[in-house]
Structures are given as structure tokens and as C-alpha cells.
Structure 1
Amino acid sequence: MEVGLELVVGRQRIPVYAWSDRRVPQALQEFALPLNEAHAIVAAVQAGLAELDEAKLREKALVLCRANEEIRLKDYRSRRLQTLFGDVRVRIPRLLARHNRDYVHLLADDAEASEGSPERILARLGAWMSYRYAARFLAELFPLACGCNPERVRRATLSEGAAAAMPQRDSDGRSCDHINLCLDTAFLRSHDRAFGRHHAVLIGNLRSDNNGQQIIGHVFGSQTDPPKYLTACLKSIGRTDGTQMTCFTDGDKLLRGLLKACGIGERPMLDWEHIARKLQNLRIIARGIRPGRRSELTLKTKIAATLDQVNWRLWHGQLQPGLKALSQIERLAWRLRSVKSRVRLSPKVASLLNGVGRLRDYINGQSAYIVDYAARHRAGLPIGTSQTESLANSLINKRMNKSQQMRWSKAGAQAVISLRVAHINEMLRLSPSASISPAPPPVL
């Protein structure tokens, strides 16, 4: 007696798989179901289900014609559907109204893609890997699928990314009293010089007092206006007219203008992370100076101690003492130059002087936005967020491959960033303690 797998469609029995086709296993791995046999079984099941659905739709059309004399069955139209397990051809009945000769539609043409549809899967893969590798991966995993090429992945990514450009999740009617907002900018290479050499990308992190967390990513110059996008993000996390805002930026005037356009009247503060990074660069340069004499070693030690003093002054919001300490570092560096060489500066000393000058200009330009970070830290208040810096890697660098000099259009960059933002926000909604750079989403 032959045992197999079959699909029953009404009175018809469709054979799917016959166990007699399997040979005696020669290795332990052959006991499992191979990928090609699994695809053949699923393809046969899919063909049987498509035949069953076609019969039900044909029966529905006949019942509708019997119930309404003004509707008649005109003909059947053959349609080809591309699925992950091969092509399926079905015959769709077309109904015609007798009085106005218009078609009566049995199926919706603009139905949204299901969670496991090929286009949705292609878009997810295109957001987390290059279009070419996404097509190769899908062709390896689903060899019966048709049209697995980079162009199809790109079109699916653009379509799904346009739908996910604006935040869809609301705050479930819960309003919050306080929101911490940290904004930063990143850049991508542009493939069209008419729009400039780079695309500016807005990235940020939102945290509310009701344990809400959300990240944002938007390309400047895309179809959606940046103030409109940021306002929608704030409303989705629970912002109202009485919500208090605490904003941190890197000191860019563009970001401060964006906050004003969104109706945020609170003055933004400078993120401490940017000051600390500049000071750390100066420490690295100072440690690279190689003293040749005992006097030079003494000057190098004084420079390192003065840099620690600058860090302490700026941490406590003391701008003038911090600027005086920077001037003292410059005097020590010039003395180091006079001890070592009266003709020219050494490369390390010149880099140190240039770095100190840039830090002084940065502090003078951002003096109105530097606060007492030590007092805020002792009070348990935020002083910025280092996650915004890692956010640039999660949204942009890991996919856009800036090191490989990839060039992007605004639509393509916005689609990829929107899909990655939507996935990370979904992970944060399910687990508020999750990282902002999770693993790629599951394919199915």
C-alpha cells in the first residue's frame, strides 16, 4: 500500500508527495526533508489551494448572477501570480452589469500586501542588505520564486519605504508630561550632483516619561517636510500642548531652526558627547608628542593636566575658566616648540594647536547652549544621549556602506532609512529595554 500526501479539493484528490519516491538514506543528514523536496511539496499544496480558491470564486460569481438578473458572467481572465514557491495561474471570472456595461469587481485591486508576501519580504531584505545580495539570498532560499533580481528588490523597497515614511503607531491615547529629544545630522553621498554632493539625514532619539522610546530618521529634501515629520513623531509618542521638552543638539543652526518650526520654545542644550569627543581627540594628540628632553617631558605632563582641567571646567559649565585653560595649553605648546625647534613646528604640536583653536571657536559659538552638566548629572537629569551616535551606524553606515563610496538618490535613501526605523521602533515597542541597533528582521 503506497502512502503519500494528498490534498482533497471537493471530490478531487490532488497528489502532493509519494513516500515511495524517497530512497534509502545514506547519511544522517538525509533523514531530514531536503530543501528542494520541501519546495516541491509546498508548490503542490499551493497549486491545490489556488485551484480550491478558484472554484470558490467561480461559485460566488454564479450565485451572484442568479441572485441579480442585471449581472451576467462575461468571461474568465487568466492571471499569473508570482509567489515564493513558483508561479500560479488562475482564472478570474469577470461580471458585467447589463444596464451600464460596467464591470463588477469580485476582488479588490488595491489590497495591501500581507505580512509574508514576496514584495514585503523583498523590501525587508533590501533595507538590511544590498539589492544584489538580497536577490541572491532569496533565489537561494526560494529557488522556485520568479523575478528575484536586484531591480525587483529595489522597486519593492521603494514602495514599502514610501508607505512607512510617516510614523503610524500612536501613543494609545496616553499623553506624557516630559520628552527628551536628541537630534543629530549625518550625510550620504548623492548620485546626482544637481542636488549637491551629499544628502543631509536627520537622526534622533525620543524618550518620554511613560517609558515610550522612538527613533527618527529622515532625509532632508524628500517629499515629507522635516518639521511635519518631527511633529508627527512627537505626537505619536504622546506630546501635547503642555508637554515639557528637553532638547539636545550638536550645535547645528539647522537643527535649532527645525525645533522652532515644530513649535518647541525651550532652548536646546549642547550634547556633552560632542564636547567630550573633541577633548578626547586633543588628549590623543598630546599623548603622541615624543619628548626628547626632560623639559619637554615636563611640558607634556602640564599639557595633559591642563586638558583635564578644561574637561572639569566645561563639565561644570564654567566657560571663561575653560577658555583660559585652553589659552594656557597654547602657551605651553609654543614653549614646547621653542625648546625643540626654533625653525618649524613638529606635526604633533601643530595638530595640537589647530585642535585647541577649533575647540575654542566651537565653545565660543555654542556658549549660549552649554549648561552645568555636573549639576544635571547629580540631579539625575539627562545630559545628552550617546545612543544618537550609534544610531548613525544602525540606520546609515551599516547599510549605506559609506566606506565603499555608495551614492544614493533621495527616494532610495529615504525608503531604506524608513524601513529600518520602522523595524527598530517596533522592537523598542515590544521591548523598551532593547538596543537601538537590533538584528535584522526575520524574513518570514
Structure 2
Amino acid sequence: MRVSVLLQITDDEGVARAAEPVAVFEKATERPEDVGLSISEGKTLMTAVQRRIVGSQVASWTARHRNCQACGARQRSKGNYPLIFRTLYGDVPLAGLRLHRCPCQGDHGPATTSPLGEFFPEHIAPERLYLETRWSSLVPYAAAAGLMADILPIASGANATTLRDHTLRVAARAEAELGEERPCFIDGCPAEWAKLPIPEGRIVVGLDGGYVRNWEEKKTNFELIVGRSIPEDRAPRYVGMVHGYDCKPKRRLFEMLKSQGLQANQDVTFLTDGGEEVRALTELVTPIAEHVLDWFHITMRITVLGQFAKGVGQRNEAIGARLASELDRIKWKLWHGNGHGARELINDFETDLADLDVDYPNLRKFITLAREFGVYITSNLASLINYGERYRSGERISSAFVEATVNAVVSKRFAKKQQMQWTRRGAHLLLQTRTRTLDGTLRSTFERWHPGMANDNGGHADHAAVA
């Protein structure tokens, strides 16, 4: 079987050109793999069609912009220059026309101009840039490049370095749109807030940190802060930044909440591990907000102390049982939001440990951890709530969901187990595209930059027809 594919293009005036062959295939029908187009044949077909379509569109654009915009006179040509336009369906070689400066401009402006260079200065189709950014946000750059080369007719640019540069460039553009940092984002007065419509419901924001290997200082790590915002009845959003590198952390957090319809009269709960840096990040972001020390991190520390108490119990069962009982009382006080009562019990617990006379090799470490736990609770007394009451009301009291967020945002892409190395800039910018990819807002960002991309989302009949 011989298959010939013909392409016919109708120009803007409605004049149809003669159909021309773009691909010819000799197809056998002997085995299952013979049926339909192969990957190679599909690439060949799409490359041929794309080159003719792009060539016709560029010729039309150049013809419409050949005249001077000021006086309308036809500008003289200074020849052509080679240009490669990178699309999803192949790299299209083009001849960019150079035009002399119009005499009406005098000596103002450049001596020559290029209409085509002004049309797409980046020399890459927005959809290809979107796909490169999306895939690079989900898998390593090399894997994304290999995937694109496997299924798309891309002759060049499908390598890890190119995809990394393109992805970081997209992130840098999004970063440039971020407003200025402010110490406080609370505007207006309570009287004005009371007049606002009733908000949709509480927004719960969990924030936590993760660490990746530093490329510049090989033996050190640096911290990433990631979070997830979960409104009661809207889609969740992700946020990510490199601690100490990001100069607009509060602005970033505020814009995430704003994208979810945040109002000044809306309840917002920030759940964190109680770290000073993360706690400071949540301050003065919105008026009706509370910072809560999440129950997950409290119980994690008590569980560790309980393991040491069991170790003591192996040497002296009575002492070990007494220590475990004291830890249960501390946990009960904290569960019911009695921070001061829990602090007194922790002080007594520390004193008991210091007075212990038991042959336990890890006693010194046990004492140190108990002291650190006391400092931890004291530093976060204002963030303790009645966890039992909240839990019975069906509200979130733990940022355990953020642990899953750390794994989704950091571990699965930044490959903690493989000890991949990152620069602070590279990690921070990749976080911006990865969070947008995970919460589904990357496409809308590109559609805002390139409104024409929105036309392809629904497969509208007025843009495409399939026979």
C-alpha cells in the first residue's frame, strides 16, 4: 500500500493553493507493527506539515509588516539571515528578512530591523516551552529531554542543558512578576473587613522544610521550605522557596493565598513544626490568622523520649514505668492545650532525669533531648491549642499532609536518596515551576502570557475540524 499525504493551504484572502505532497509511505500489512504510522513515520509527517504551515504563516507576517509603521512606505531589504524556530513538531529553518531603517526616521533607531525577530524573539514556540517546563518539573532534565526526543520530531535542543535553561528562564519570568516584599500585608481596618462578604471558609496552610545537597559547597546542605494551602472548598495550592535565598518569602505566601480568594475577614490557620524561621514567615500575612504548632511534631518528640524511657526500663523497670507515666501526663496536658501545665511537668521530668541513679549508657543523651523538648515547648507556648477539641470538631491539627508535600515537591524531583546537588538559584527557580505543575496552574500562567494557547484547551470546532 502506498500512502500519499497532501496539504492544501488557503491564504488570508481565501485563495487556495494547489495541494502538494508532504509525505509518501510504503505500507505493508503483514504484522501488527505494520498497521498505522510508526513513530518514525509520524515524526516525518508532522515535521513536513509543520515546516510548510510555519513557512506560509511567516511569509504572510513578513508581507504585512514590510512597510514602515510611521509613514507606510515600503522599506528596502538588506537581505536575509538564517533563523531556527523550535516547535513541538520539529525545528523549522527560516530566512529572516532584514529591512533598512525608513528615511522618515532620520538617524533615530537601529539601522536595520527584523520583523520576524520581533515576532518571536525567543525563537521557540510557547507550547514547546510549556511542555519542556512541565516535564522538566516532573522528572530530571535528562529524562525529560529523552522523553521529548522519543515522541516528538525534535532535531536539536532535546538535551538536559537546554531544557534546564528554558525551565529556569520561565521561572525567572514568573519571579519578575512577583510584587515587592513587605513586612506586613494587613491593610485597612476591622470596620472595613466586617463589611466584606462572608468568606468561603477556613484556609489551612501547612509549612515544612526539606534539605538538598549544596553543589557549591559539596559537604553541606541547604533548606527548602515548601507548603500546601488547603481551603475548605477550593483547589489546593503549593508554595516553595529556598530558605535564605528567597528575598520575597512573605509576598510569595500572600500571593498563593490571594490566588485562592483570600479575604481580610477569612480565618487562616498556619500549621508548622515550630521553627523560628517558618513561624516568622506566617506573621502579619493576614488579619485573622493563627499559628499552630502541629501535633505531629509534638508527638514525634514525645515518642523519641518514650523510646529512651523504655531503655531505662530495661535497667530498672520501676523507674522506666515512672518516666513513661510522666511523659503520658505531659502529652495529655499538651493535647488539651494546657501549655503552662505541660511546661511545669517537663521541668519536673528534667529534674527527675538529672537525679537518676541508673546504669543507662544513653542517659546523657536522654537528658539533652528532654531539655531541648522543654525549650521547644516554651518557644511555642503561644502556638499551642486545645488539640482534642479541634480534632473532635473535624479540623486539622497536624501538618502530616505537609510531610507528603515535602516528598511530592522535594524528594521525588530533587532526589534526596540519590544525593543530587543543586545551586540555590537552580533549586529555587525549579521549585517555582514544580509547584505550579503540581497544582495545575502552570498552563494558566502560559495562557496569560500567550492568550492564544487557551484556544487549544477545549478543542473548539472553530479552530480545528477532523474529517
Tell me which interval the TM-score lies in, with the shorter structure as reference length.
Answer: 0.7 to 0.9
**Which residue is 2:163 aligned to?**
153
Residue identity matched to 1:49: I
Residue 311, structure 1, aligned to residue 334, structure 2: no
TM-score, L = length of structure 2: 0.74
Shift of 1:241: 3.2
**Which of 263, 268, 282 lines up with 1:259 in the alignment?**
282
**Which residue is 1:18 aligned to?**
24
Question: Which residues of structure 2 form unaligned runs of 5+?
Answer: 10-15, 106-110, 179-196, 445-467
Say if 1:183 and 1:203, in contact at 8 Å, map to a contact too. yes
**Which residue is 1:8 aligned to?**
8
**Which of 192, 205, 219 lines up with 1:181 in the alignment?**
205
Stretch moving more, 263-272 or 154-163: 263-272
Q: Distance in 2 between matches of 1:253 and 1:150?
A: 37
Shift of 1:414: 1.3
Shift of 1:247: 2.7
Q: Distance in 2 between matches of 1:223 and 1:367?
A: 28
Say if 1:330 and 1:356, in contact at 8 Å, map to a contact too. yes
Q: Deviations over 1:288-307 (max 9, x none)?
A: 67847xxx455555554544
Shift of 1:272: 1.3
Residue identity matched to 2:303: Q
Residue identity matched to 2:373: L
In structure 2, relative to structure 1, the CA distance for the partners of 1:377 and 1:202 (3 Å cut) is: same
Q: Distance in 1 between matches of 2:97 and 2:256?
A: 45
Say if 1:251 and 1:270, in contact at 8 Å, map to a contact too. yes
**Which residue is 1:126 aligned to?**
136
**Which residue is 1:79 aligned to?**
83
In structure 2, relative to structure 1, the CA distance for the partners of 1:290 and 1:270 (3 Å cut) is: closer
Q: Distance in 2 between matches of 1:402 and 1:410?
A: 15
Say if 1:120 and 1:156, in contact at 8 Å, map to a contact too. no
Q: State the secondary structure of the residue aligned to 1:135.
A: helix
Shift of 1:390: 1.6
Shift of 1:31: 2.2
In structure 2, relative to structure 1, the CA distance for the partners of 1:390 and 1:428 (3 Å cut) is: farther
Say if 1:185 and 1:203, in contact at 8 Å, map to a contact too. yes
In structure 2, relative to structure 1, the CA distance for the partners of 1:424 and 1:78 (3 Å cut) is: same
Q: State the secondary structure of the residue aligned to 1:181.
A: strand
Residue identity matched to 1:346: P
Shift of 1:152: 0.6
Shift of 1:146: 0.7
Shift of 1:428: 12
1:48-59 to 2 correspondences below 5 Å: 48-57=52-61, 59=63
Residue identity matched to 2:152: F
1:346-365 to 2 correspondences below 5 Å: 346-347=361-362, 352-365=366-379
Residue 108, structure 1, aligned to residue 114, structure 2: no
Shift of 1:417: 0.6
TM-score, L = length of structure 1: 0.77
Q: State the secondary structure of the residue aligned to 1:403.
A: coil
Q: State the secondary structure of the residue aligned to 2:8.
A: strand
Residue identity matched to 2:161: E
RMSD of aligned Cα (Å)? 3.9
Say if 1:205 and 1:388, in contact at 8 Å, map to a contact too. yes
Q: Distance in 1 between matches of 2:336 and 2:325?
A: 17
Say if 1:214 and 1:428, in contact at 8 Å, map to a contact too. no
**Which of 133, 147, 151 lines up with 1:137 in the alignment?**
147
Q: Distance in 2 between matches of 1:315 and 1:167?
A: 43
**Which residue is 2:13 aligned to?**
none
In structure 2, relative to structure 1, the CA distance for the partners of 1:40 and 1:360 (3 Å cut) is: same
Residue identity matched to 1:416: L
Shift of 1:36: 1.1
Q: Distance in 2 between matches of 1:376 and 1:112?
A: 55
Q: State the secondary structure of the residue aligned to 1:123.
A: helix
Q: Distance in 2 between matches of 1:335 and 1:177?
A: 51
Shift of 1:285: 4.6
Q: Deviations over 1:344-395 (max 9, x none)?
A: x234x55544443332332233223222211222334432432122211111
**Which of 355, 368, 390 lines up with 2:382 in the alignment?**
368
Shift of 1:138: 2.7
Q: State the secondary structure of the residue aligned to 1:80.
A: strand
**Which residue is 2:243 aligned to?**
220
Q: Deviations over 1:99-139 (max 9, x none)?
A: 2266473652457965531x322222222222233333333
Residue identity matched to 1:153: L
Say if 1:70 and 1:98, in contact at 8 Å, map to a contact too. no
Shift of 1:275: 0.1
Say if 1:84 and 1:146, in contact at 8 Å, map to a contact too. no
Q: Distance in 2 between matches of 1:203 and 1:120?
A: 23
Q: Distance in 1 between matches of 2:62 and 2:175?
A: 39
Say if 1:82 and 1:145, in contact at 8 Å, map to a contact too. no
Question: Which residues of structure 1 form unaligned runs of 5+?
Answer: 431-444
In structure 2, relative to structure 1, the CA distance for the partners of 1:144 and 1:114 (3 Å cut) is: closer
Q: Deviations over 1:40-66 (max 9, x none)?
A: 11112222223332443455357x58x
Q: Distance in 2 between matches of 1:166 and 1:202?
A: 20
Shift of 1:98: 3.6
Q: Deviations over 1:288-347 (max 9, x none)?
A: 67847xxx4555555545443332222112345545655776788789963xx4xxx234
Q: Distance in 2 between matches of 1:32 and 1:110?
A: 38
Say if 1:87 and 1:145, in contact at 8 Å, map to a contact too. yes
